[in-house]
């Protein structure tokens, strides 16, 4: 689920006013190559465009107690910070570029959901006979093991800025999640399932007059979106569904929450629907709470269901090197319920995986 680029200091930083004047001078250079060289000179060749790895990992860029001060600079082509720049509005604003000071332009690819590699993921039981009302039961599957690998890659980019409403942006995103029988040498280590999820997101920042909520919470954003999810398989293993959603993001210090309400886009005939009863298992609501106590980052996601099914997922990460909280991180994920993968949407699963974040953009 970003901040303006952060420059790690190895020497005393220039005064903010000087940085502003020098970068403004660079903006007046018309030649792209010369302008970029100007930015490099002003920052002594130390500038790095650091984007958060996910809405959760964005919190890792918050200065830790005892850490040196950081200089925040604007990327080439955008307005540098000045004395008139409003104070930081929180990582939700940085991640989704909700304020003019956070805008980075279009087609800057960065991460969306966490990108992770869990080489060890243990399952309480394995779905050896996946089924759905419209596809029947699949019986001729490899002998899957309880220990496998799980990995996820998730990217996004903004395609339009300031669309229809003030500071509202249109984003596209793509997430791919795979479960891989890495340790199953007897079956040639097959991929058990891969889910593909393209998404269209219209992100609207809330006006300052509407942000304030009780107990110090702030309503930062509202978004609407369209999402397709499928596993790309055929016949009895095929699973897919399309849905529209509206979500609402709130924040208070190092704690933020998101409520998402979904509306499936029904097909004309259930016999063409790979999983017509998926709502009974996954429901139409998702609530997520993210917490950043120090260098740790924790996320709890709950999908309730009126049928008594649903799911709960807990994610936790911590930097491998505590001095670099935005670098490589340990990653642990626990899941219980239905729908960890589309193939298992109606199969109750309990799993625990451990590994690393893969990369960030």
Q: How far apart are CA 334 and CA 352, in angstroms?
A: 4
Residue among 134, 230, 296, 336 flagged as catalytic: 230
> Would the CA dihedral through 116, 121, 125, 129 be positive or negative?
positive
Residue among 131, 189, 228, 296 flagged as catalytic: 228
Q: How far apart are CA 55 and CA 95, in angstroms?
A: 6
Q: How far apart are CA 342 and CA 194, in angstroms?
A: 9
Q: How far apart are CA 22 and CA 71, in angstroms?
A: 14
Active site residue 212: no
Active site residue 230: yes
Q: How far apart are CA 308 and CA 234, in angstroms?
A: 30
For tokens 């496998």, what's the residue? Answer: 148
Longest dimension (CA), the chain: 69
229 — phi, psi (to 5°)? -135, 130
For tokens 């990653």, what's the residue? Answer: 331
Q: How far apart are CA 251 and CA 97, in angstroms?
A: 15
| Residues recognised as catalytic | 228, 230
């Amino acid at each position: 689920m970003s901040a303006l680029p952060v420059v790690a200091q190895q020497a005393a930083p220039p005064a903010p006013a000087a940085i502003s004047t020098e970068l403004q001078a660079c903006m007046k250079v018309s030649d792209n190559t010369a302008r970029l060289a100007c930015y490099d000179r002003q920052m002594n060749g130390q500038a790095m465009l650091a984007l958060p790895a996910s809405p959760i990992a964005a919190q890792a860029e918050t200065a830790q107690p005892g850490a040196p001060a950081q200089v925040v600079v604007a990327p080439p082509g955008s307005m540098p910070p000045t004395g008139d720049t409003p104070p930081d509005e929180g990582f939700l604003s940085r991640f989704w570029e909700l304020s003019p000071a956070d805008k980075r332009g279009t087609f800057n690819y960065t991460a969306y959901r966490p990108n992770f590699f869990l080489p060890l993921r243990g399952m309480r039981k394995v779905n050896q006979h996946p089924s759905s009302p419209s596809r029947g039961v699949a019986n001729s599957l490899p002998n899957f093991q309880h220990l496998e690998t799980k990995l996820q890659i998730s990217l996004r980019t903004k395609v339009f800025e300031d669309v229809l409403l003030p500071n509202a942006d249109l984003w596209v995103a793509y997430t791919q999640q795979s479960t891989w029988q890495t340790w199953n040498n007897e079956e040639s280590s097959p991929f058990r399932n891969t889910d593909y999820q393209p998404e269209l997101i219209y992100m609207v920042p809330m006006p300052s007059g509407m942000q304030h909520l009780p107990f110090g919470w702030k309503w930062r954003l509202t978004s609407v979106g369209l999402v397709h999810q499928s596993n790309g398989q055929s016949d009895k293993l095929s699973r897919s569904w399309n849905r529209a959603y509206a979500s609402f993001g709130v924040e208070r210090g190092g704690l933020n929450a998101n409520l998402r309400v979904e509306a499936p886009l029904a097909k004309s005939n259930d016999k063409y629907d790979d999983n017509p009863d998926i709502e009974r298992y996954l429901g139409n609501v998702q609530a997520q709470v993210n917490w950043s106590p120090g260098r740790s980052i924790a996320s709890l996601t709950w999908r309730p269901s009126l049928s008594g099914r649903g799911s709960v997922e807990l994610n936790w990460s911590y930097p491998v090197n505590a001095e670099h909280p935005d670098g490589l991180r340990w990653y642990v994920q626990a899941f219980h319920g239905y729908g960890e993968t589309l193939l298992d949407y109606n199969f109750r699963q309990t799993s625990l995986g451990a590994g690393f974040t893969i990369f960030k953009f």
